[in-house]
Amino acid sequence: MAIDAQQMKKNFGLLIVCHATVIFSHPERIFFYIKKQQTVYMAFPKSLSIPSLILSILLLTTTISNKVSAQDGKSLFSQNCASCHAVNKKLTGPALAGVEDRWGGDKKKLHAWIHNSAAFLKTGDTYANNLYNEYNKTAMNLFPQLTDAEIDAILGYVSTAAKAASAAPAAGGGDVNAAKGEESDNSLLFGILTLVLAVVALVLLQVNSNLKKLADEKDGIRSAEPVPFWRNKAYIAVVVVLLFISGGYMTTRGAISYGRTKNYQPVQPIYYSHKVHAGVNQINCQYCHIGVYQGKQATIPSVNICMNCHMAINEYKGAKIYNEEGEEVNGTAEIKKLYKYAGFEEGKPWDATKAQPIEWVRIHNLPDHVYFNHAQHVKVGQVACQTCHGEIQKMGEVKQFAELSMGWCVNCHRETKVQFKDNGFYSIYEKYHADLKSGKIDSTKGVTVEMIGGTECQKCHY
């Protein structure tokens, strides 16, 4: 994977040209080349998009995870604050960007406020009381369990996030798309080139044989009656072999990918936009997918979780949303659909027992013989949701981003580092710890999932 992508494309073009010539001149080597070609194919930019994305996200996560406190701050923020606060946006509570300045830089006051806002209000602090009144006397939750250091970590995260947001508007996505466009153009070009070369090779071969015949006639050697190329056994054999190989290859590929549903994007009973919720409004994934840190399933939120917010939010006021067909989606109408499931009538108190479950169409579906656990990956492995689900915060209706094939899983397990030093569980791997210290294991590569047995059958199949 370390090979530069641009370089790869060049190599590939060259390879095809070489292959074409070699195959025609040395049919017996055909298997060898096909095999080679396949391995190259794996790394060809077209299919590079997934691994490269994974790689880039992995790199991203690893750079983040190096800054331990910021990482803590982020997760603390998402665990404790995100349900009511965003960095740059007013939610239930105020936007947190610049919060330290607003409090006059007095961290003590801020700590006291966060620990126990109700008690702090009683001290008669004017800013706090004004704030309280401004937000309709909605009391802020009490966080006595947070230590001062943790609060500082959250504040640290808030300030870096605020800076990052103001410094750079979206950077990542554009490049990927641009790269994609380039790829498809190139492959077409190389294809045509290959065809042209093949025709040239054929013509040259024909010319060669004609010349030979002429030379023979000149020498007085009688040649056999010319055989048209469609009855030439050598040609027929080559065509048959080629057909067999390409047919077999396509069948195998087809069979392997049978049942895989990459890019599956069904229409759901409610047009639920992750872009609106996770993207624009920055609701933490865990707020709705409550199981993701705890268990096997991330869990699709139940109606009562939706209603936590939507009892108050009954119309959509954000930017226009468009579905895949480019039609505009009426957000408010979709919220009303939710109300129908919830059995909620606006203006009346909600009776949660009347709710009906929403029958979503399942997108990510692993076979029964695979055991997958979200907590293992997200909580223990600290893998970002986007690694497997793509840029979910930019999706309208959800689309399956990853192939979810075994090869895809295993490749990631081969390269991903485990949280070897941070997680106490791995302290029993004394040998690896010693090897890391002595440099026997490259500390930049770290201990991968594979090294602790993460590619063995019974880690996922039992």
Partner 1 sequence: MSKQHWQSFGELNNSDAYKQSVNDEFQEQLPFEADDKGFLEAKHPRRDFLKFLGFSTAAATIAASCEIPFTKAIPFANKPEDIVPGNYMYYATTYVQDGDAVSVLAKVRDGRPIKIEGNDLSPITKGGTSARVQASVLDLYDTARLRFPTIDNNEATFEDVDKAVAAGIAGLGSAPIVILTSTIVSPSTKEVIAQFIAKHPGAKHVVYDAVSYSGILLANEATYGKKAIPTYRFDNAKVIVSLAADFLGTWLSPIEFAKQYAVGKKINEKNPEMSKHIHFESVASLTGSNADERFLHRPSETGAIAVALLAAVNGQAVTGIDDAKLKAGIVKAAKELVAKKGEALVVSGSNDKNVQIVVNAINEALQAGGKTIDWSATYNTKAGIDADFAKLVDDMNAGGVGGLLIFGANPAYTWFDSKKFVDGLKKVKLTVSFNGKADETTKLCKFVIPSNHYLESWGDAEIKSGYISLQQPTIYPLFKTRQLQDSLLSWSGSTVSYLDYLKQYWSAKLGGAAGWDKALQEGVVNPSNAALASASFSSASVSAATSAIASYKKANPASTELYLYQKVAIGAGEGTANPWLQEMPDPVTKATWDNYLIVSPAKAKTLLNIDLTNNGQADAYEVKPPKHVVSITANGVTVKLPALIIPGTHTETVGIALGYGRNKELGKSVFDEEAGIAVGANAFPFASLADGTVSFAIGSVDLKDTKELYPVALTQTHNIYNTAQGNRTEVMKELTLAEFKAKPTEILEDREAEVKPYGGLENYRAQGTIYPDSMNDRPGIKWGMSVDLNTCNGCGACVVACTAENNVAIVGKPEVLRGHEMQWLRIDRYYSGSDLDNPKVVFQPLMCQHCDNAPCENVCPVAATNHSSEGLNQMTYNRCIGTRYCANNCPYKVRRFNWADYTGADSFPDNQKGVVNDVVLNMSDDLTRMVLNPDVTVRSRGVIEKCSFCVQRLQSAKLSAKKESRPLEDSDIKVACQQACPTNAIVFGNANDKKSNVTVTRMDNPNRLFLSLEQLHVLPNVTYLAKVRNIEEEEKKEA
Is the torsion defined by CA of 178, 179, 180, 186 positive or negative? positive
Q: Which is nearer to partner 1, 44 or 264 (CB)?
A: 264
Within 10 angstroms of residue 246's Cβ, the number of other Cβ atoms is: 11
Give whichever of 104 and 259 is closer to partner 1, judged by the CB atom: 259
- Do 150 and 107 touch, CB atoms closer than 8 A? no
Q: What's the closest the beta carbon of residue 437 comes to partner 1, in angstroms?
A: 14
Phi, psi angle pair for 262, to nearest 5°: -60, 140
How far is 332 from 334, CA to CA, in rounded Å?
5
Can you tell me the distance from the alpha carbon of 152 to that of 149, in angstroms, rounded to the nearest whole number? 5
What the block records as the tokens of 165 is 């947001």
CB 198 within 8 A of CB 20: yes
Q: Which is nearer to partner 1, 87 or 449 (CB)?
A: 449
User: Cα(362)–Cα(365) distance, rounded to whole angstroms?
Assistant: 7
Phi, psi of 31 (to 5 degrees): -60, -45
Query: Least CB distance from residue 274 to partner 1, whole Å?
Result: 15
Cα distance between the two ends of the chain: 31
Tokens representing 216?
């023979």
**What residues line the site for partner 1 (CB under 8 A)?**
254-255, 258-259, 261, 264, 266, 290-291, 294-297, 299-305, 341, 352-353, 355-363, 365, 368-369, 371, 373, 375-376, 379-380, 422-425, 427-432, 452-453, 456-459, 461-462
Nearer to partner 1, 151 or 398 (CB): 398
Give the nearest distance from C-beta 382 to partner 1 in angstroms: 11
Minimum distance from CB of 433 to partner 1 (Å)? 9
What are the structure tokens assigned to 128, written together?
């706090």
Least Cβ distance, residue 431 to partner 1 (angstroms): 4
- Residue 346: CB minimum distance to partner 1, A: 19
Closest distance to partner 1 from the beta carbon of 321 (Å) = 22
CA separation for the pair 17, 24 (Å, rounded): 11
Q: Closest CB to partner 1 among 320 and 369?
A: 369
Of 281 and 376, CB closest to partner 1: 376
Beta carbon nearer to partner 1, 198 or 309: 309
- Spatial distance between the Cα atoms of 13 and 359, rounded to a whole number of angstroms: 49
The least CB distance from residue 446 to partner 1, in Å, is 15
- CA pair distance 217, 223, nearest whole angstrom: 7
Residue 165 or 361: the one with the smaller Cβ distance to partner 1 is 361
Using alpha carbons, list the distances in angstroms from residue 203 to 38, 84, 232, 435.
28, 73, 15, 61
Q: Tell me how far apart the alpha carbons of residues 339 and 352 are, in angstroms, rounded to a whole number.
A: 11
